[in-house]
């Protein structure tokens, strides 16, 4: 197996996405010939420095090229309003990233896979379902059912009030142009997106290694996320091979919701269940999750044929 790469082997890249410049890193494969490539981006509010370099290096060690980028409105990428997540724009930007990767001389455009995690794990499913250029997909602890997870985070008695806040923010934005935000983590009184202890610990650690990460998203981000059901697309991923990595105690994306989506997926498909919660894959379960994804891509993108 080729040696694991390091940051000195990658190069900074940027590409156009309908008039918005997205920026990231490109890692060439050890093989000088055009080879298979993985396109990847992070999950909800996160930036590429939050452990994605580790995954990219593992994929390079398996003989793959990798394109990692920041979503629009986040990190090094352009876009406004800052800190706003429109899942459908992010999905379209995955497709722009695939297009860009296919133009690079180091990449075989017929051998491109997509990798996503958490929120972008859901995106990876949708992209693979709709874009025939995708030849294999890995979704890690994917957010597959925004409606159900939204109901679980907000008690039924508070749904009306939440709807009123979304409506009020839209009126204020129209009248003043000001964009309201809310914290990703924090005290319950501040209305964070994630109130669980494991989320607080993970995002706090991210803040130490990824200076461009900001502890906020727009209020409208939450409204969109509650209506986004990526799992509705999973049957159409076939016949492209699918690997889903699920944590057995995921209280963020819901272990049961992910397994239900996986059961609806058609063959060929593979499931890896790992111990722990939603944020375990990046550190505690990194060896298991990165190795499984690297082997899956190396096998199903046929890099070994060279």
Instruction: Quote the percentage of the chain above a pLDDT of 90.
Output: 85
Kindly give, in sequence order, each residue whose CB lies less than 8 Å from that of residue 160, ignoring residues fewer than 6 positions away. Answer: none
Q: Give the pLDDT of residue 8.
A: 53
Banded model confidence at residue 26, pLDDT cuts 50, 70, 90: very high
The lowest-confidence range among 28-32, 79-83, 265-269, 294-298 is 28-32
The domain spans of the chain are 7-146+229-305
Q: What are phi and psi of 122, to 5 degrees?
A: -65, -40
Burial of 268 per CB tally in 10 Å (0-12, 13-18, 19+)? middle
Q: Give the pLDDT of residue 88.
A: 98
Query: Rounded CA gap, 131 and 110, in Å?
Result: 12
Query: Rounded CA gap, 261 and 265, in Å?
Result: 6
Q: Domain 7-146+229-305, what architecture? A: 3-Layer(aba) Sandwich (3.40)
For residue 104, pLDDT over 50 is answered with yes
3 state DSSP class of 140? strand
Q: Give the pLDDT of residue 2.
A: 36
What residues does 39 pair with on adjacent strands? Answer: 67, 114
Q: How many residues does the chain have?
A: 306
Q: What's the rounded mean pLDDT across residues 222-232?
A: 95
The lowest-confidence range among 8-17, 43-52, 108-117 is 8-17
Query: Rounded CA gap, 197 and 117, in Å?
Result: 20
Burial of 19 per CB tally in 10 Å (0-12, 13-18, 19+)? exposed
For residue 271, pLDDT over 80 is answered with yes
Q: Give the pLDDT of residue 57.
A: 97
For residue 118, pLDDT over 60 is answered with yes
Query: Rounded CA gap, 300 and 164, in Å?
Result: 47
Crossing angle of helices 52-61 and 286-300, rounded to 10°? 40
């Amino acid at each position: 197996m080729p040696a694991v790469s390091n940051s000195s082997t990658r190069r900074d890249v940027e590409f156009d996405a309908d008039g918005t410049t997205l920026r990231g890193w490109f890692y060439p494969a050890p093989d000088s010939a055009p080879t298979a490539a993985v396109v990847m981006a992070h999950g909800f509010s996160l930036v590429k420095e939050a452990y994605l370099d580790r995954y990219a290096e593992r994929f390079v060690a398996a003989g793959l090229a990798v394109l990692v980028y920041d979503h629009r409105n986040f990190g090094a990428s352009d876009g406004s309003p800052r800190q706003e997540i429109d899942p459908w724009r992010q999905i379209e930007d995955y497709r722009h990233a695939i297009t860009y990767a296919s133009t690079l001389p180091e990449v075989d455009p017929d051998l491109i896979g997509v990798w996503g995690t958490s929120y972008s794990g859901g995106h990876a499913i949708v992209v693979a379902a709709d874009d025939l250029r995708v030849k294999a997909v890995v979704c890690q602890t994917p957010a597959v059912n925004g409606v159900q997870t939204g109901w679980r985070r907000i008690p039924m008695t508070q749904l009306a009030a939440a709807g009123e806040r979304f409506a009020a923010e839209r009126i204020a934005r129209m009248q003043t142009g000001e964009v309201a935000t809310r914290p990703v983590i924090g005290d319950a009184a501040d209305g964070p997106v994630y109130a669980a202890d494991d989320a607080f610990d993970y995002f706090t650690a991210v803040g130490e290694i990824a200076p461009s990460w900001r502890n906020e998203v727009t209020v409208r981000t939450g409204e969109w996320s509650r209506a986004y059901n990526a799992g509705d697309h999973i049957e159409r991923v076939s016949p492209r091979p699918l690997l889903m990595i699920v944590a057995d105690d995921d209280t963020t994306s819901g272990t049961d919701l992910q397994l239900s989506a996986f059961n609806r997926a058609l063959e060929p498909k593979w499931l890896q269940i790992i111990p722990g919660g939603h944020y375990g894959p990046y550190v505690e379960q990194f060896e298991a999750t990165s190795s499984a994804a690297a082997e899956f891509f190396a096998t199903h993108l046929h890099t070994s044929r060279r």
